[in-house]
Structure 1
Amino acid sequence: MSTGAAGAASRRPPVLVLAMAVAFLLLVAALLIGSITRPEFPPYTLTVPRAAPPATALVGPATYTLDASSTSRWRTFDFGRDAAVDSGRWDLAFRRFHLIAAPAGGIVDLGPVPFDSVAELPADGYLGNALGPDTTNPGVGKWYDYNMLTHLLTSKRHVYGVRTAGGKYAKLELLAYYCKDVGVACVTFRYAYQGNGTRRVLP
């Protein structure tokens, strides 16, 4: 091989470098496409106010959608009133993708089990909130998966047990983080709440 040919060959980028460059460009393209593509939101709509159920009855299973899009205000929910509330007692609070229990309440992760398979909630294992600049509840933790390409959150579909500050019990499953009315941070969940003080959450 002549000296000129050898020099030209040495100046060619290695195949591995070319492959890595192509992979990087494909990743950048995928991220850009994901960031500008408008997602197809689930067909949930904000739940309208409804009559409060009897205080000692089993409520649900019921599905509820609320607006948790504020970055500064917690949106509170009361199982006993079957509604998002602005005053009085509450059992859960939502802010963006965060979820906490009321003070003296707690949450336990029951895992990725079918919602209807949970007939009775455990007596122990409920975790209180971890207070801080961004209060969280370790019983729920990161209840979602994040897609790097679409930048969307999807539920892990775990079922959670909730013990309220008043010693009542509910099971909870977070279904979605989006809806057509609000878009992002519109949380839909389903639950069954036992108002008689027992831990049974099936009829």
Structure 2
Amino acid sequence: MALLFAGALFAAAGACSSDDDDGTSTSSSSSTTSSSSTSSSAGGGGSGGDNSTGGGGSAPVGGGCTEPTEVACSDNVLQDLNLQDDTDAGMITSTPEGMGFLSLIDAVAGGAMATDPTSYTYGRFTDTGLEKVNISDEAALDSMEWDIAFRRSTVRINSGNSGPSCVTGAPIPNAVFDEVTAVPDPAPAARTDSYYSSGCVLQGDASGQPTAPGTALSGFYVYNLDTHCVGMSDQVYLLQLADSRYLKLEITAYYTTENQQLCDNGDPLPQGPTGSGNYQVRWAFLP
């Protein structure tokens, strides 16, 4: 089976049967999911990979911050990432799972074939689940109210070139989600969402696609060149928020549960809508 980390050729995959063309969001998990909680912020494909060429900005020692910082290369970010001035209608719902949550994120953003997608779906981690933040892409570049954002196969965190906060993320080597019960000692090197050079040139992820930013979490999937679908890498990440709290996070699905299992098993997806852009994310705060 030909596998490439995070999807060389995924930019062309939008035309394949493995991705939705109609922008339809689907419920991809248990029907016991709670209703979404949202808040309005006052603040203003191959898109994956192991980000060996990007996403490597260092984080402040000790972590945490209370004041925003200016986003470097913001004009380039707006253009290169096709950021929007609208607020995406995609919902976020969370259900308790063990000591944490299973969150479902609608990041369909108009569908795989949309030439002018909607904004990212923004969220922040709270004690009651991942809460949606109603904010546009443009306003998000000036806001510390959000922690994480999803659109199609790109996941951003609020730091570096993605936002003015100091959220960091790092893969925990060889980790199994349920076995991570505390912050690893030593902790993996924290990374901000920095994916531009000092000259404001976009630093892509390992896929080599010119519009695929090397974000801190861009290694969450592997792209199957045989079946043209997005398989999960089973990577567990350590995130630190602006309030210095830590959490573990694993993205477990990009499609509906059934279609994700097909893809992960190396089987082709059925023709027609696949539920792409509907994330399932396991996460939990760590002591």
Q: TM-score range by the shorter chain?
A: 0.5 to 0.7
CA distance in 1: counterparts of 2:27 and 2:120, whole angstroms:
23
- Cα pair 2:122 2:133 within 8 Å, conserved: yes
Map 1:1-203 onto structure 2 (within 5 A): 35=16, 43-44=28-29, 48-49=35-36, 60-70=99-109, 71-80=117-126, 82=129, 83-87=131-135, 89-103=145-159, 104-122=166-184, 123=187, 125-132=189-196, 136=213, 138-179=215-256, 183-194=275-286, 200=287
CA distance in 2: counterparts of 1:78 and 1:37, whole angstroms:
29
What is the RMSD computed on CA atoms of the aligned residues? Answer: 3.4
Greater strand content: 1
Residues 112-138 of structure 1: CA deviation (Å, up to 9, x unaligned):
421111111245621001245657454
User: Would the alpha carbon gap of residues 86 and 50 (structure 1) be closer, same or farther in structure 2, given more than 3 Å must change?
Assistant: closer
- Cα pair 1:78 1:92 within 8 Å, conserved: yes
CA distance in 2: counterparts of 1:38 and 1:94, whole angstroms:
16
Q: Partner of 1:173: helix, strand, or coil? A: strand
CA distance in 2: counterparts of 1:38 and 1:92, whole angstroms:
23
CA distance in 2: counterparts of 1:62 and 1:43, whole angstroms:
15
Q: Relative contact order, CA 8 A, sep 6+: which one is greater?
A: 2
- Structure 1 match to 2:208: none
User: Would the alpha carbon gap of residues 36 and 169 (structure 1) be closer, same or farther in structure 2, given more than 3 Å must change?
Assistant: closer
User: Would the alpha carbon gap of residues 165 and 97 (structure 1) be closer, same or farther in structure 2, given more than 3 Å must change?
Assistant: same
- Which structure 2 residue ranges, 5 or more long, are not aligned? 1-15, 21-25, 40-97, 110-116, 136-143, 160-165, 197-201, 203-210, 258-272
* TM-score, scaled relative to structure 1: 0.63
- Cα pair 1:42 1:176 within 8 Å, conserved: no
Q: Partner of 2:277: helix, strand, or coil? A: strand
CA distance in 2: counterparts of 1:108 and 1:36, whole angstroms:
32
CA distance in 1: counterparts of 2:176 and 2:222, whole angstroms:
18
* TM-score, scaled relative to structure 2: 0.46
CA distance in 2: counterparts of 1:92 and 1:38, whole angstroms:
23
Residues 14-49 of structure 1: CA deviation (Å, up to 9, x unaligned):
xxxxxxxxxxxxxxxxxxxxx55899x994268631
Q: Partner of 2:178: helix, strand, or coil? A: helix
